[in-house]
A = this chain, B = another copy of it.
Amino acid sequence: MKRVIAMKVTVYGAGNQKLYTDELNLPERYGGEAPYGGSRMAMEFAMAGHDVILAEPSREFLDDEQWSMVEEAGVTVTDNDKEAASEAEVAVLFTPFGKGTFSIAREILPELPEGSVIANTCTVSPVVLYYVLEKELKLERTDVGVSSMHPAAVPGTPQHGHYVIGGRPTAELDMATDEQVSRCAELAESTGKKAYIVPADVTSAVADMGSLVTAVALAGVLDYYYVGTQIIKAPEEMVEKQILMTLQTMASLVETSGVDGMAAAINPELLVKSARSMHLLDEQEELDAALKKISDLNDDVMKWIEGAEVNHTDLVAAQALTGELKTVIGDRAAEGTIRRCMRKMFE
């Protein structure tokens, strides 16, 4: 067994247990028991031998019995975010979606010890978190890193067997040192869970709720790649271009016209007929299931799609465009534009 070196860890946000048990009905749907969320993460870190603080100003998020469980696991509870930051080698943000998380991050950054790493969970993209703090990270706190400790499931449920850790991003932003990334991975693994290190800007696609779409689309892409290159024997490059084109077309139509507008433009009835011709193997189960699903849309869904508007869309290869932009206005000026368009996608 790997020897665990105790770390000082602060978890921000305990998780609203009423939401988990009453509204989302987790005990019945997934199993496990309250407290779920940030408080469960804190308990698991403490039980792995770390020195853990849970910062939560909303006392009502847990009932008295649940708070006792947290403390019995060895977690120190506080309502003071700033104080909780002062020794945190890892500061995990299990905080609300959007601005709430930004203001906590801004508040604690000056208080963090030398070399600390801030890790998001499911409520914000690590890239957006980095951009929100970028000025301070580049001037005053060059020692602090940004990574992820994304549970990709609700902590406290049996599904939570892994963490997604934000590694070196594909866009070469200087978000965290290798040591800071490894520190997050070690913290995750010390709880007996598996740590997956993924480029920081890709974590959202594989760890947030939308991972359903990523998984289904990946199955379709791999199926088509095989059929296209091995059965139809089309050139690899052509098959890859087609994959880029279909995914980019769908993404851009959703961006300008919503899911209903995208579906209206691509016309499910037609799509079933076209895609059926690509059924060339005995086993293309994801295609069978997809064709069945989109052949069988109920009247409400069809009305919603048929009533949608398709807005102006410039269908372009996005990476070709970022490349052209850098050539036309220069790398430095392009950087600002690219950042704004990245935030439009992740925020």
> A: which residues have CB within 8 A of B?
23-24, 29-30, 97, 127, 152-154, 157, 159, 161-162, 164, 170-172, 196, 198-199, 201-202, 204-225, 227-228, 232-234, 238-256, 258-259, 262-263, 265-278, 280, 285-294, 297, 301, 310-322, 324-325, 328-329, 333, 337-338, 340-342, 344-347
Interface of A is mostly: helix
B215 touches A291 (CB 8 A): yes
B206 touches A274 (CB 8 A): yes
11 contacts between A and B (CB under 8 A): A153-B273, A206-B271, A209-B228, A212-B227, A219-B293, A222-B293, A243-B259, A248-B251, A317-B344, A321-B325, A325-B325
Q: Which of B198, B288, B328 contacts A266 (CB 8 A)?
A: B198
A320 touches B341 (CB 8 A): yes
Q: Beyond A202-B253, A265-B199, A318-B255, is A271–B215 a contact (Cβ under 8 Å)?
A: yes
Q: How far is the CB of A25 from chain B (nearest CB, A)?
A: 10
Q: Which of B220, B325, B328 contacts A212 (CB 8 A)?
A: B220
A152 touches B270 (CB 8 A): yes
Q: Which of B161, B218, B270, B321 contacts A290 (CB 8 A)?
A: B218
Q: Which of B161, B247, B297 contacts A213 (CB 8 A)?
A: B247
Q: Beyond A224-B209, A325-B325, A338-B314, is A232–B266 a contact (Cβ under 8 Å)?
A: no
Q: Which of A171, A210, A272 has the most CB of B within 10 A?
A: A210
Q: Which of A214, A228, A232, A328 has the most CB of B within 10 A?
A: A214
User: Which residues of B lie under 8 Å from residue A311 when comparing CB positions?
Assistant: 170
Q: Beyond A222-B297, A277-B152, is A243–B254 a contact (Cβ under 8 Å)?
A: yes
A243 touches B210 (CB 8 A): yes
Q: How far does the alpha carbon of A301 sit from the alpha carbon of B340 in the complex, in Å?
A: 36
User: Which residues of B lie under 8 Å from residue A322 when comparing CB positions?
Assistant: 314, 316, 321
A198 touches B270 (CB 8 A): yes
Q: How far does the alpha carbon of A291 sit from the alpha carbon of B285 in the complex, in Å?
A: 11
B215 touches A220 (CB 8 A): yes
User: Which residues of B lie under 8 Å from residue A245 when comparing CB positions?
Assistant: 204-205, 208, 210, 345-346
B290 touches A317 (CB 8 A): no
Residue of B nearest to A224 (CB): B212
B223 touches A216 (CB 8 A): yes
User: Which residues of B lie under 8 Å from residue A249 when comparing CB positions?
Assistant: 201-202, 204-205, 214
Q: Which of B23, B24, B255, B324 contacts A320 (CB 8 A)?
A: B255
Q: Which of A269, A274, A316, A324 has the most CB of B within 10 A?
A: A274
A254 touches B240 (CB 8 A): yes
Q: Which of A152, A171, A205 has the most CB of B within 10 A?
A: A205
Q: How far does the alpha carbon of A228 sit from the alpha carbon of B341 in the complex, in Å?
A: 24
User: Which residues of B lie under 8 Å from residue A213 when comparing CB positions?
Assistant: 217, 220-221, 224, 242-243, 246-247
User: Which residues of B lie under 8 Å from residue A239 when comparing CB positions?
Assistant: 209-210
Residue of B nearest to A223 (CB): B212
Q: Which of B97, B196, B288, B316 contacts A345 (CB 8 A)?
A: B316
B212 touches A275 (CB 8 A): yes
Q: How far does the alpha carbon of A151 sit from the alpha carbon of B173 in the complex, in Å?
A: 46
